[in-house]
Amino acid sequence: VKKLGRANYQFFSESLHKDSRRQLSLEMDLHKALERNELVLHFQPQIDQTRNRVVGAEALIRWQHPVLGTLAPDKFIPLAEKMGLILPIGDWVLKEVCRVAALCQSLALTEIEFSINISAHQFLLDSLAENIHQYLEEHALPSALLTVELTESVLVKDVETTAAILTQLRDVGVKVSIDDFGTGYSSLSYLQQFPVDELKVDRSFLTGLSQYKNAEAIVSSIIRLAKDLGLKIVAEGVETEQQLSFLRAKECSIIQGYYYAKPLEAEALIAFIKTFNRV
Ligand code: C2E
Ligand code: CA
Ligand code: CA
Ligand code: CA
C-alpha cells in the first residue's frame, strides 16, 4: 500500500507544481483519514506543581499520514476547516476524549480532567452541547471532567450567539477555558460578558520571560486577573526551570509544557500518570 501511495505522489509530480500537488493530495487524503483510522489523539499532561500531581491532560490531534508520517494539527486543521471536514473530525475528537476519559475512570485515575480544543465552526454548531452531553452519558462520565478550550477568535463572533452557546455548555456542566489568552483582542470585554472558568496563559508570554522586560509584568497581571475573577489559571508551553519557578512565585500552580511532558499517546499518558502520581 505504501509503495502504491508513493507511486501516486510521483505521478502527480509530473503535472503539478510541488505546493499545489501537496495540497491536492492532502485534501484527497483528508477525506479518507477518518474512515481509515489515521487520526490519533495525543494527550499532554497538566501538572499541579504545588501538589506535584498530574491533574489533567489536553487532547491534541495528530494525523498519521501513510506517506508523509505524523502531521501536526497546523498542517491539516485549517484545511479541514476549509473543506467542511472539521465537524466530523471535531465530533470524533469529542468521542475519543470521552473514551480515554472513561478508560482513566475505569483504572481509578478518577481525578484526571480532559481539555478539548473546539474550532469556530464546531462552536457555532447548534448541537455541540447536546452532543457532548450524549457522549458523556454514554460513558457515564461526570461532566465536570471536561473543559472546552476556545480561542479568542472563536468568541468574537456575535455576543448574543456566543453567550447562548456558552450557557448551553455550562448547563451541560462542562467547563469553559479561554485558550491563548491575551494574544487575541477584546479579551477583557468578553471576560465581563461571558461565563468562563479558566484562562490559559499563552506560550509566547512564557517564552518572553527570558527576552522581554515587560513579559514578567504581563504574565503576573494575567495570573492576578484570573485570581481576582475566581478563574482557574493554566500556564502552557512551560519548558524551563526558570519559567516554572517564576510561575510558582506568582502562585500559578497548573503547568502544561515540555518541562514535564510532551503530548503522549493514551497508553503512554496513563503510564505517565501512574508513575508521576504513584498509583
Ligand atoms: P494549542 O491549543 O495552543 O496547543 C498547544 C500547542 O503547544 C500544542 O501544539 C502543543 O504540542 C504545544 N506545546 C505544548 N507544550 C509545549 C512546550 O513546552 N514547548 C513548545 N514549543 N510547544 C509546546 P500542537 O499539538 O501542534 O497543536 C497546535 C494547535 O492545533 C493547538 O494549539 C490547537 O489550536 C490546534 N489543535 C490541536 N488539536 C486540535 C483539535 O482536536 N481540534 C482543533 N479544532 N484544534 C486542535
Ligand atoms: Ca488548546
Ligand atoms: Ca493554547
Ligand atoms: Ca497556541
117 lines ligand 1 (CB under 6 A): yes
- The residue contributing the CA closest to ligand 1 atom 22 is 237
Q: What is the pLDDT along the chain (279 residues), one digit of tens a residue?
A: 445 555 555 555 555 566 676 676 888 899 999 999 999 999 999 999 999 999 999 999 999 999 999 999 999 999 999 999 999 999 999 999 999 999 999 999 999 999 999 999 999 998 999 999 999 999 999 999 999 999 988 887 788 999 999 999 999 999 999 999 988 876 788 888 898 999 999 999 999 999 998 999 999 999 999 999 999 999 999 999 999 999 999 999 999 999 999 999 999 999 999 999 998
- Locate the ligand 1 atom nearest the alpha carbon of residue 180 and give its number: 3
Closest to 278 measured CA to CA, from 54, 60, 83: 54
CB 239 within 8 A of CB 33: no
Reading the block at residue 162, the C-alpha cell is 456566543
> Please, which residues have CB within 8 angstroms of residue 230's CB and are 6 or more apart in sequence?
none
258 lines ligand 1 (CB under 6 A): yes
Reading the block at residue 129, the C-alpha cell is 452541547
pTM metric for this prediction? 0.93
CB 235 within 8 A of CB 247: yes
Distance (Å, rounded) from C-alpha 73 to C-alpha 195?
28
Helices (H), 16-148: 18-33, 73-83, 86-106, 120-124, 128-138
Whole-angstrom CA distances from 84 to 34, 73, 130 are 13, 15, 20
49 lines ligand 1 (CB under 6 A): no
Span from the CA of 180 to the centroid of ligand 2 (angstroms):
7
- The residue contributing the CA closest to ligand 1 atom 46 is 117
